[in-house]
Amino acid sequence: MVSKERTQEIFKGLSQAVISYNEETSVELSKQALEEGIDPYDAVMNGLAAGMQRVGELYAESYYFVPELLLCSDALYAGLNILQPHIKTKEKEFSTKEQIVIGVVEGDIHDIGKNLVKVMFEAAGWSVHDLGKSVKLERFAEEQLKTNSEIVAISALMTTSMLAIPKVIEMVKAQNPNVGLLVGGAPITRDIAMAYGADGYAGDASSAVQEAYRILQCLRNKKNR
């Protein structure tokens, strides 16, 4: 039985590996966690995901920028690839109770921001259905229906492609008015997002998860009324 101290040491090491974007250490410590009998779900949530949460804070503080975020997400995925196959189904279900469909709208191939938002949701334990970039508008509603996701996140980086966003929102809402729509991307502001009929807006990757939880809370409150 692994000691509490050792478990904490591994968690801290995993977290630090993500923050310092060290893929090798992330892999090594993930393997050690499994070998030493540490629960892989705990290793993900208290180690890798905790590290990514700190990375989000560093980004919000303008200490980290996109290059750092990309490498931190590489370190996160390197560890996840080792640990995730060993997470028991029940925990998997627990860990992925919230689901999100995410994509960049048709006509737009800029997906760095979307990928960073994706990693933040994965680090927070969400199940992410990534449609990729330049996604046909109807695909958002189709994927939401297929996965029964609570949130659909839509991004655009251009003033031409942003015009597709209200159409996607309309399609998703027509199919299921209880789905939360989260919008982001360089030309979008909160005012524009609201005018488009979105339920929430995130200006960057670090605030997207929090905004999604806020939307979920609003939707649940509405449902309970």
Which residues contribute to the site for another protein (CB under 8 A)?
A: 21, 62, 64-68, 70-71, 74, 105-109, 112, 115, 158-164, 186-189, 192, 195
Quick one: 5 or 61, whose CB is closer to another protein? 61
SS (H, E, C) 73-125: HHHHHHHHHHHHHHCCHHHHHHHCCCEEEEEEECCCCCCHHHHHHHHHHHHCC
State how far the Cα of 202 lies from the Cα of 183, in Å rounded to an integer.
Answer: 6
CB of 35 to another protein, least distance (A): 28
Cβ proximity to another protein, 40 vs 184, nearer residue:
184
CB of residue 174 to another protein, shortest distance in Å:
20
Least distance from another protein to the Cβ atom of residue 168, Å:
11
By beta-carbon proximity to another protein, the closer residue of 11 and 59 is 59
Label residue 162 exposed, middle or buried (CB < 10 Å: 0-12, 13-18, 19+).
Answer: buried
Q: State which residue, 107 or 125, has the beta carbon closest to another protein.
A: 107
Residue 180, φ and ψ in degrees, nearest 5:
-90, 135
Question: Distance of CA 2 to CAs 6, 55, 86, 91, 128, Å?
Answer: 7, 28, 17, 20, 32
Q: Which residue, 63 or 94, has its beta carbon nearer to another protein? A: 63
Least Å from the CB of residue 90 to another protein:
36
Shortest Cβ 17–another protein spacing (Å): 15
**Which DSSP letter does residue 161 get?**
G
Q: To the nearest whole angstrom, how small is the minimum distance from the Cβ of residue 214 to another protein?
A: 23
Is 33 or 208 the residue whose CB approaches another protein more closely? 208
Is residue 18 a contact partner of residue 52, using CB atoms and an 8 Å limit?
yes
Residue type, 192: I
Strand pairing category for 180-184 and 200-201 = parallel
Rounded to a whole number of angstroms, the minimum distance from the CB of residue 163 to another protein is: 6
Q: Which is nearer to another protein, 57 or 93 (CB)?
A: 57
Of 133, 195, 207, the C-alpha closest to 169 is: 195
